[in-house]
Amino acid sequence: MRSDISGFYKLPVERRLRILRERAGLSKSDIKTLAHNSALLHETADMMIENVVGTIQLPIGIATHFKINGVDKFVPMAIEESSVVAAASYAAKLARPEGFKASSDEPLMIGQIQLKSIKNMEKAKKDIVRRFEELKSIANGRESVLVKLGGGLKGIELRELDTDRGKMLIVHLLIDVRDAMGANAVNTYCEEIAPYLEELTGGKSVLKIISNLAARRIVRARAVWKKNDLGKETIDRILDAYAFAKADPYRAATHNKGVMNAIDAVMIATCNDWRAAEAGAHAYAALNGYKPLTAYEKNKNGDLAGKIELPLAVGLVGGATRMHPVAQVALKILDVNSARDLAEVVACVGLANNFAALRAMVKEGIRQGHMKLHATNIAHMAGAKEEEIALVAKRLVEEGNISYSRARQAVKQVRYDIRKKKIKKLIRSVRQRVQHKTERKN
Ligand code: MEV
- The CATH number linked to 168 is 3.30.70.420
The verdict on pTM exceeding 0.75 is yes
Q: What is the 3-state secondary structure (H, E, C) of 41-95?
A: CHHHHHHHCCCCCCCCCCCEEEEEEEEECCEEEEEEEECCCCCHHHHHHHHHHHH
DSSP structure class, residue 289: B
Name the domain boundary from 194, 210, 226: 210
Examine the domain organization and report whether 44 and 70 are in the same domain: yes
Q: Which atom of ligand 1 is nearest to the CA of 261?
A: 2
Domain count, the chain: 3
CB atoms within 10 A of CB 27: 11
> Can you name the residues that pair with 297 across neighbouring β-strands?
305
HSE (side-chain half, CA atoms, 13 Å) at 9: 14
The residue whose C-alpha atom lies closest to atom 10 belonging to ligand 1 is 357
CA of 241 from ligand 1 middle (Å) equals 12
Does 1 fall in a domain? no
379-383 long-range contacts (CB < 8 A, ≥24 apart) are: 379/407, 379/410, 379/411, 381/407, 382/407, 382/408, 382/410, 382/411, 383/408, 383/411
Distance CA 390, CA 334 (A): 32
Q: Are 333 and 235 in contact (CB under 8 A)?
A: no
The per-residue pLDDT for range 356-374, each reduced to its tens digit, is 999 999 987 666 666 777 7
Examine the domain organization and report whether 385 and 353 are in the same domain: no
Percent of the chain residues past pLDDT 70, beyond the cut: 98
Query: Which residues are catalytic, by number?
Result: 81, 257, 273, 370
pLDDT at 38: 57
User: Dihedrals φ, ψ of 152, to 5°?
Assistant: 110, -175
Output the tens digit of pLDDT for each of the chain's 442 residues: 899 998 898 888 899 999 999 999 999 999 988 887 656 677 788 888 898 888 888 999 999 999 999 999 999 999 999 889 999 999 999 999 999 999 999 999 999 999 999 999 999 999 999 999 999 998 998 767 899 999 999 999 999 999 999 999 999 999 999 999 999 999 999 999 999 999 999 999 999 999 999 999 999 999 999 999 999 999 999 999 999 999 999 999 999 999 999 999 999 999 999 999 999 999 999 999 999 999 999 999 999 999 999 999 999 987 788 888 899 999 999 999 999 999 999 999 999 999 999 999 998 766 666 677 778 878 888 888 878 888 999 999 888 888 889 999 999 999 999 999 999 999 999 999 888 888 887 7
The residue whose C-alpha atom lies closest to atom 7 belonging to ligand 1 is 255
Distance CA 198, CA 203 (A): 5
Does 238 fall in a domain? yes
Examine the domain organization and report whether 223 and 326 are in the same domain: yes
**Structural domain containing residue 409:** 369-438
Q: Which atom of ligand 1 is nearest to the CA of 81?
A: 2
Task: Identify the H or E element spanning 294.
Answer: strand 294-298
| Residues having CB within 6 Å of any atom of ligand 1 | 81, 254-255, 257-258, 261, 357, 366
Q: Are strands 218-225 and 101-104 parallel, antiparallel or unpaired?
A: antiparallel
Residue 305's CATH number: 3.90.770.10
Does 2 fall in a domain? no
Q: Are 363 and 101 in contact (CB under 8 A)?
A: no
Does 86 fall in a domain? yes
> Can you name the residues that pair with 219 across neighbouring β-strands?
104, 310
Does 152 fall in a domain? yes
Name the domain boundary from 329, 363, 397: 363
The per-residue pLDDT for range 175-200, each reduced to its tens digit, is 999 999 999 999 999 999 999 999 99
Q: Are strands 294-298 and 204-211 parallel, antiparallel or unpaired?
A: unpaired
Q: Are strands 152-163 and 166-176 parallel, antiparallel or unpaired?
A: antiparallel
CA of 254 from ligand 1 middle (Å) equals 6
